Structure 1
Amino acid sequence: MYELISVIVPVYNVERYLEKCVDSIINQTYSNLEIILVNDGSTDNSGELCDNLAKKDSRIVVYHKENGGVSSARNLGLDKAQGDYIGFVDGDDYIDADMYECLYQNLNRDNADMSMCALYDVYVNTKLEQVTKIENYVVNSEQAIKIALEGTIPLVSPTSKLYKAILFEELRYEEGKTYEDAFIIARLLDKCNIITITNEKKYYYFHRSDSITTKPFSIGMLDVIDAWKYNLSFISQCYPSLINSAYRRLYWAYFYVLDSLMSPNSNFDNNIYNMLTSVLKKNMKFILFNPYFNLKRKFMLLSLYIHPIFYKFAVKKFKNKVN
């Protein structure tokens, strides 16, 4: 009845957070777990800490490898996993004690291939609030891909989810990419017949000041554009009814990179700026009439026609308030 869940934790220089993360997994109410810690060439004491944590619980297995990025760590975990189901927890995050029990029960209740819950965005000195009304949704693969494209629910991240292991038989995360989860998402959801979703928050996503989501622009950020171009190609072939949503997500990626480039602590690159703004200006009509871009974003697009300084001002003013 209680099938084995393999929980894969990629570990890289997270010694300050790892014990809290692993303890939250060890103490799950769903106890039939295989906990796979993949030390991805950490340069701090994370590797030694993994070995010490393994002594606390026989369900923990540790693998040490040369640094190859989070995708290679997740892929090694997938190669080694013995479970009927797969879960991912990042080494600086943590989870509620009943998260996997909740995900497992929902998955079996709805005969689903994937089960997901909502997450808390954890910042330093922020108050965490649960939803006032718990709601559950059951969607098919096409509906789930549409949700991922529109960004209404964080379906793209591999965490806060439980997957049937069979989904990964022929799929692995793109290695050497900055936004590895975006490359795989459409193909992964395509393999699902049913996805069950609850808005109840069970996963704590900790925003570190040195995490990739808070760093200034780097050339690797262009990977997010490549990821959604890749998805656009797949969707145009397999889900043509979603083509407009796929284009919307692609232009969102251009905005995402442009916002980082124009943030106060980034070095301005004129060639990249011209490339990004050329695409956005060429598709201005599509963006202005698309309901999934809010008014602030549309205002920011119009500001590009005035002067880059106006866009830079808008990035600072509307930070985290645009889509």
Structure 2
Amino acid sequence: MDKISIVIPCYNMEKLVGKCIDSIKNQTYTNFEAIFVDDGSQDRTKEVIEENIKDDDRMKYVHKENGGLSSARNFGMEFISGKYLCFIDSDDYVEKDYLMELYNNLIENGSDISVCYFNRVYENKTDLNKVEGGFYNMVKFPAAWNKMYKTSLFKDNDIIFPPGKWFEDLGTFPKLYMMSNKKISIVKKPLYQYIQNPTSITHTFDERIYDAYDMVETNEAFAKENSIYDRYHDELEYINVYHILIGTIYRSSFIEGFNTDTIKDIVRHVEDKYPNWHKNEGIGKLPLFFKIYLKALHRRQYKLIVFLLKTFNDKVTIS
């Protein structure tokens, strides 16, 4: 059995990290190492982790100064020795067959990345999120977790999580996808439990939502540096459609001053690079609401967009 490395970034998680640790300890796949990266926590995260892992030499605690999620993941990767790699967020937990199912799926299909379904876990309900194959489906939710990777994908291609930015997964998964040559397979079981936080960036406005611009551009620069931009032009264009024209405009709608000028500026940002974005084939794979929304956007019906988002923004799930 090949060794699997797990990197778990932790910041002020004294109340939740214990459940995460237990879910890793109970894995049916036993040849793993788990690196818990304490990103400068100010609570009892250190004590909770050390108490819970002291009887398991597969688990290691490391500490660093606070630098954010990307910094913690990158730091954790400095300690890994496994042929395969997973990420788990410390406020989430996984099913006991998480590693086994992802590993078997990856080996049996000769994949570079395997992906599983996941549950969004709310206080009073759980929503199943299925994952479909193909870039247009996978890039809609480019989380680092719910996936297993060949470690070489990161190391051979010098891929790290962009530090100091929001949407770091958006600046990472597309690079991994492009370098995997589409060798990705899916486990059709919800093995990852994603705990929902109502104050997360998905549901609020902050000026850092515009970090998405930087994440999109770092993917484009990476593709050009590796001479694969033309091959992945449509996929890179689609990232702009979904994560900027839909995602960033949607998140902007939570600010009180949201108006047609906000939309115009965002559309201009995309159209300068991709004037024919409205013809992207990925749009045809979106739900009807988004198709109508994007058609209105292309026709410059910005007042209608403002109305739609002000009316439905609490009913729409972007990522």
The TM-score with structure 1 as length reference comes to 0.82
CA distance in 1, matches of 2:242, 2:169: 16
1:305 aligns with 2:302: yes
Letter in 1 for 2:185: T
Contact 2:120–2:194 under 8 Å retained in 1: yes
For residue 207 of structure 2, the aligned residue among 219, 224, 237 is 219
Counterpart of 1:95 in structure 2 is 94
2:175 pairs with 1:184: no
Q: Is the Cα–Cα contact under 8 Å of residues 120 and 128 in structure 2 kept in the other structure?
A: no
1:229 to 217, 227, 231: 217
1:83-134: CA deviation from partner (whole Å, max 9, x where unpaired): 2221110001110101101111122222322222111121121145597xxx
Distance 1:244 1:73, change over 3 A: same
Could you tell me how far apart the structure 1 residues matched to 2:308 and 2:43 are? 39
Name the aligned partner's letter for residue 126 of structure 1: K
Is contact 2:89-2:145 (8 Å) kept? yes
| AA of the residue aligned to 2:206 | S
Q: What's the Cα RMSD here?
A: 3.0
Q: Determine the structure 2 residue equivalent to 1:105.
A: 104
| Alignment partner, residue 210 of structure 1 | 199
In 2 relative to 1, CA 159–83 (structure 1 residues): closer, same or farther, beyond 3 Å?
same
Identity of aligned residues (%): 29
**Deviation, structure 1 residue 195:** 2.2
Q: Does 1:160 align with 2:160?
A: no
- Corresponding residue of 1:296: 289
Provide the C-alpha distance between the structure 1 equivalents of 2:250 and 2:221, rounded to a whole number of angstroms.
Answer: 25
Q: What amino acid maps onto 1:166 in structure 2?
A: S
Structure 2 equivalent of residue 124 of structure 1: 123
Contact (CA 8 Å) 1:119, 1:202: kept in 2 or not? yes
Write the mapping of 1:65-84 to structure 2, written as runs, cut at 5 A.
65-84=64-83
Consecutive unaligned residues of structure 1, counting only runs of 5 or more, are 138-143
In structure 2, the residue matched to 1:196 is 185
Taking a change above 3 Å as real, the CA distance of residues 257 and 126 of structure 1, as seen in their structure-2 partners, is same
Residue deviations 1:209-246 (CA, integer Å, cap 9, x gap):
233333x1112111112222332454574152442332
Q: Does the CA contact (< 8 Å) of 1:117 and 1:160 recur in 2? A: yes
Partner Cα separation in structure 1 for residue 214 and residue 128 of structure 2? 35
Q: Secondary structure at the match of 1:3?
A: coil
C-alpha distance in structure 1 between counterparts of 2:270 and 2:310, whole Å: 18
Q: Equivalents in 2 of 1:319, 1:82: separation in Å?
A: 40
Distance in 1 (CA, whole Å) between partners of 2:25 and 2:232 is: 40
Three-state SS of the structure 1 residue aligned to 2:303 is coil
Q: Counterparts of 2:228 and 2:276 in 1: how far apart (Å)?
A: 26
Which residue does the alignment assign to 1:14?
13
What secondary structure does 1:34 align onto? strand
CA distance in 2, matches of 1:78, 1:5: 12
Contact 2:220 2:229 in 1 (8 A): no
Q: Is the 8 A contact 1:130 1:200 kept in 2?
A: no
Q: Paired residue for 1:140?
A: none
Counterpart code for 2:278? I
In structure 2, relative to structure 1, the CA distance for the partners of 1:294 and 1:104 (3 Å cut) is: closer
In structure 1, the residue corresponding to 2:170 is in which secondary structure? helix
For structure 1, which segment, 103-112 or 18-27, has the greater mean C-alpha deviation from structure 2 after superposition? 103-112
Q: Tell me if 1:261 matches 2:252.
A: yes
Alignment-derived partner of residue 287 in structure 1: 278
